[in-house]
Amino acid sequence: MPSTNQDFALYCCELLQSAGPCVAKRMFGGWGISTGGLTIALMIDLGQGELLWLKADEDTRAVFEQAGGQRFTYDRKGVPQSMGYYTVPDAAMESPAEMARWAHLALDAALKAAKSKAPRAKSASKNVAKPSTKAAAKAGVKQLAKATTKATQQASAQTAAKPRFGAQRSFKP
């Protein structure tokens, strides 16, 4: 069932405020809650009513499970699919102070996920194209020769257009 309860989404943002200023946006028939551009929670009705699902990772999953958290699981074409989000204890849903621990676990998981997805810098040797065949090497040499010839012609044209030192003045007796 799609979640349309904006009031509950805003309440969840208030609960999660210890992780930073939160924003709730419509997402996947529910709401995504993020802070600093990182999604830390989902608010979706999977048939059990609207629930808050906090982001977890392999390091925090056990903490959520030991507290009785349910894993975010849905059916896709009859096959159960799950995501790394868990419910929190009822007490945490009643107070921002009780939610603080859970909010920070979710934020840590989101930060780790963002760090692992960040593009890695390539070394200079990986940026150099390496031809795999003689034909590719010849094609590369031809392209380089054309580019060099064109650059040389452009430089010659610019030099010819500029007056030389002696030609800059006109002498009149």
> What is the rounded distance in angstroms from the CA atom of residue 17 to the CA atom of residue 24?
12
Residue-level pLDDT at 18: 95
Residue-level pLDDT at 24: 94
Residue-level pLDDT at 1: 41
> What is the rounded distance in angstroms from the CA atom of residue 94 to the CA atom of residue 48?
18
Tokens at 35, concatenated? 């802070």
Give the least confident one: 1-5, 68-72, 109-113, 163-167: 163-167
Measured at the CA of 35, the angle between CA 30 and CA 37, to 5 degrees, comes to 90
Pairwise pLDDT comparison (103 vs 142), residue with the higher score: 103
Is the pLDDT confidence value at 4 over 50?
yes
Domains observed in the chain: 6-117 (3.30.1460.30)
Burial 23-45 (b: 16+ CB within 10 A, else e): ebeeeeebbbbbbeebbbbbbbb
Question: Which 8-state DSSP code applies to residue 20?
Answer: S
pLDDT digits (tens, 9 = 90+) for 26-83: 987 889 999 999 999 999 888 888 899 999 999 999 999 999 999 988 888 888 888 8
* Identity of the highest mean pLDDT range in 8-17, 110-119, 144-153: 8-17
pLDDT digits (tens, 9 = 90+) for 120-172: 555 544 444 444 444 544 554 455 445 444 544 554 454 445 444 444 443 34
Pairwise pLDDT comparison (3 vs 86), residue with the higher score: 86
13-24 mean pLDDT: 95
Residue-level pLDDT at 42: 93
Residue-level pLDDT at 166: 44
Residue-level pLDDT at 163: 46
103-114 mean pLDDT: 94
Pairing of strands 30-35, 22-27: antiparallel
